[in-house]
Amino acid sequence: MGNNTFNIWAIKLETVKLWADLKNMPDENISVLLDEKRVFKPSEKFVNETNVKQWMDEHNIKNLEELHKKAEDREWFWKEISKDLVEWYKPYDKVVEWEAPWVKWFVGAKYNIVHDALDKHVKSWRKNKVAFIFEGEPGDVQKLTYNDLYIEVNKLANALKKLDVKKGDRVGIYMPMLPELPIAMLACAKIGAIHSVVFSGFSALAFRDRVNDCEAKVVITCDGFWRRGRKVYLKQQSDEALEKAPGVKHVIVFKRTGDAVPWTPGRDVWWHDLVYGMPKECESEKLDANDPLFFLYTSGTTGKPKGIIHAHGGYAVGTAYTLKWVFDLKDEDIWWCAADIGWITGHSYIVYAPLILGATSVIYEGAPNYPQPDRWWALIEKFNVTTLYTSPTSIRLFMKYGEEWIKKHDLSTLRLLGSVGEPINPEAWIWYYKYIGNEKCQIMDTWWQTETGHCVISPLPITPLKPGSATRPLPGLSADVYNEEGKPVQNAGGNLVLTHPWPGMLRGIYKNPERYKETYWSKFKDTYLAGDVTRKDSDGFFWIQGRADDVLNVSGHRIGNSEVESALVSHPMVAEAAVIGKPHEIKGESITSYVILKGHITPSDELRNELREHVGKEMGKIARPDEIWFVSDVPKTRSGKIMRRVIRAKALGKDVGDTSTLANPEAVDEIGKAK
């Protein structure tokens, strides 16, 4: 493909802008704005060698349509799928039990995900296969086999028991991208404890909230780690968090940088001291398949993050199934999911699914552009990576650096690519396809959420692709687009819903069943509301446009508008704040805030910076507003609710629609002037 053709291909569809328009529209007016016509098909040879095609042949299924049809018999499908992927200690009596909105999968089975992730492999030829290839930001490399991992996990599991961690207890994990993070997660799972990992980029205060909410008894962290050539002192941050976390009795500290750290005798213990001399064997606790495996906090529309609960059995089946079919994972592959383990993508596709499948995966500690913008391409070349799974934000960042950085490296081992976290605009899709995949790798644009546990709407490697569409729900999974009345709509925007339970489905919100029901199950009866604006085209392909609710998606990470507002208002000089998202070329969405200061305070640039840093301290750098405007008022309803939709429309120069219901229509003009 010559450059000219590429330019024509990259017709300025301006998805980001269109999507922004869409977010401003009342739902009933959501219209078809994007009509992407190009279709990309995999080669016949490639198709014939895929895991999914082989499964179809074994089951006498001729084509994709037939596969989808057959998979509608969910009992049959999940029974067939699960038997290739997991080994139960005791078989289940029933595949699924659904009493909306509560679900149980593989009812009656005894299980532990660590059996499939580790125990079974050390009894097989995979014992000495490399599970993780780790590269630190300074360039240090470590390879851990399944047996190495098994021993480390067992030792830590025994150590946790010694600290009196029992089945059902919560362990807070605040760690960066080191192999010890999966080791810590697996050690908890092994003994039936519930891990709650908090992204290491989150602030001390964000960590504190989560640790307290899940009532963690033990915390696992490290002294520090490398980021962009500098050290991040995580132990300090952890200590700050734990100043007000009385439930935490022990802190296990892994030594990464070797720097001196503050120490609380009696509470803190070095990881290496703790595991020293611990037995190398530790039997995995035989749990109920529906016992919780982990909590992972995610943003919602209120200021308080939700502790999403996932359970052992269904999650194991759902994650392993999707990795095996969507990413066609085989024993020869070198898999690299370049997400952070602190988010669901890393939980599912760095830790659990690849280990269940006995894969070899890459873990990289540092920044993608350190010390140069070709760090990732150097890693792919060095480790012969065959499959890369990343986010549109990263792709757009690399687009900005230009192709020269890619051309320095041999990426010919790549055979399949993936995207997740936000809508991928066709221009980025084509760039990814052309420059990273060398026009021979299909791109799996996978839609899913913390709540779904695994990919739901996604191509299979045999699916013809339309750039920008996550295609269709995977076999055995079901989604639709409903209008406000709960009627399915096609070729028009609406609410993305999931119409049947799925194996990796969340089991609730920790300590908050009411919020679980209200958030996901109250708008449409017995139907899961995903919270995304979506269109389904005439071929049944889904085009996910972005969040329908007040949740921002910054670089593929969910941040609640109201969380940022609360962080701003917690500053002593701020009276009120309204936060909206604006389309951003690289990050997808940027954070803009309108701040009302307390009566006697004068606005200044210093204060603006201070507020940015304040939000960073409260929540983590990722949530720092890109823009802060000082205003005297923000548009509100008569009941006092901030009208973010109106603010967003005005800030983007769009029609704000009817403002007659506002208590203070004049505030809209002020937003318009804040530019």
Q: How many CB atoms lie within 10 A of CB 218?
A: 22
List the interface residues with ligand PRX, window 404-423 (CB under 6 A).
420-423
Mark 248-287 with x for binding to ligand PRX (rule: CB under 6 A) and - for no binding. ----------------------------------------
Interface region with ligand PRX, contact rule CB under 6 A, candidates 251-259, 361-369, 370-378, 529-537? 529-537
Minimum distance, C-beta of residue 452 to ligand PRX, in the bound complex (Å): 8
By Cβ distance, which residue is nearest to ligand PRX? 450
- With binding defined as CB under 6 A, does residue 345 bind ligand PRX? yes
Q: How many whole angstroms separate alpha carbon 433 and alpha carbon 453?
A: 26
Minimum distance, C-beta of residue 92 to ligand PRX, in the bound complex (Å): 27
The residue among 8 and 32 lying less far from ligand PRX, judged by its C-beta, is 32
The residue among 133 and 420 lying less far from ligand PRX, judged by its C-beta, is 420
- With binding defined as CB under 6 A, does residue 450 bind ligand PRX? yes
Minimum distance, C-beta of residue 367 to ligand PRX, in the bound complex (Å): 20
Minimum distance, C-beta of residue 507 to ligand PRX, in the bound complex (Å): 16
Q: How many CB atoms lie within 10 A of CB 477?
A: 28
Asked if residues 326 and 461 have their Cβ atoms less than 8 Å apart, the reply is: yes
- With binding defined as CB under 6 A, does residue 430 bind ligand PRX? no
- With binding defined as CB under 6 A, does residue 24 bind ligand PRX? no
Contacts of 482 by beta carbon, 8 Å cutoff, 6+ apart: 488, 489, 494, 495, 497, 524, 527
Minimum distance, C-beta of residue 461 to ligand PRX, in the bound complex (Å): 16
Q: Assign 665 to helix, strand or coil.
A: coil
The residue among 77 and 349 lying less far from ligand PRX, judged by its C-beta, is 349
- With binding defined as CB under 6 A, does residue 344 bind ligand PRX? yes
Tokens of 443: 């791109």
Minimum distance, C-beta of residue 632 to ligand PRX, in the bound complex (Å): 33
Going 449 to 190 to 365 to 458, the CA torsion angle's sign is negative
- With binding defined as CB under 6 A, does residue 446 bind ligand PRX? yes
Mark 545-574 with x for binding to ligand PRX (rule: CB under 6 A) and - for no binding. --x-----x---xx----------------
381 exposed, middle or buried (CB, 10 Å; 0-12, 13-18, 19+)? middle
DSSP per residue over 241-252, as a string?
HHTT-TT--EEE
The residue among 390 and 553 lying less far from ligand PRX, judged by its C-beta, is 553
The angle formed by the CA atoms of residues 403, 408 and 413, to the nearest 5 degrees, is 95
- With binding defined as CB under 6 A, does residue 532 bind ligand PRX? yes
Distances (CA, A) of 667 to 411, 630, 635, 642, 664: 53, 12, 5, 11, 6
257 exposed, middle or buried (CB, 10 Å; 0-12, 13-18, 19+)? middle
- With binding defined as CB under 6 A, does residue 447 bind ligand PRX? yes
List the interface residues with ligand PRX, window 469-498 (CB under 6 A).
470
The residue among 101 and 418 lying less far from ligand PRX, judged by its C-beta, is 418
Q: How many whole angstroms separate alpha carbon 653 and alpha carbon 646?
A: 11
**What's the start-to-end Cα distance of the chain, in Å?**
41
Provide the binding-site residues for ligand PRX, judged by CB under 6 A: 298, 343-345, 420-423, 445-450, 470, 530-532, 544, 547, 553, 557-558
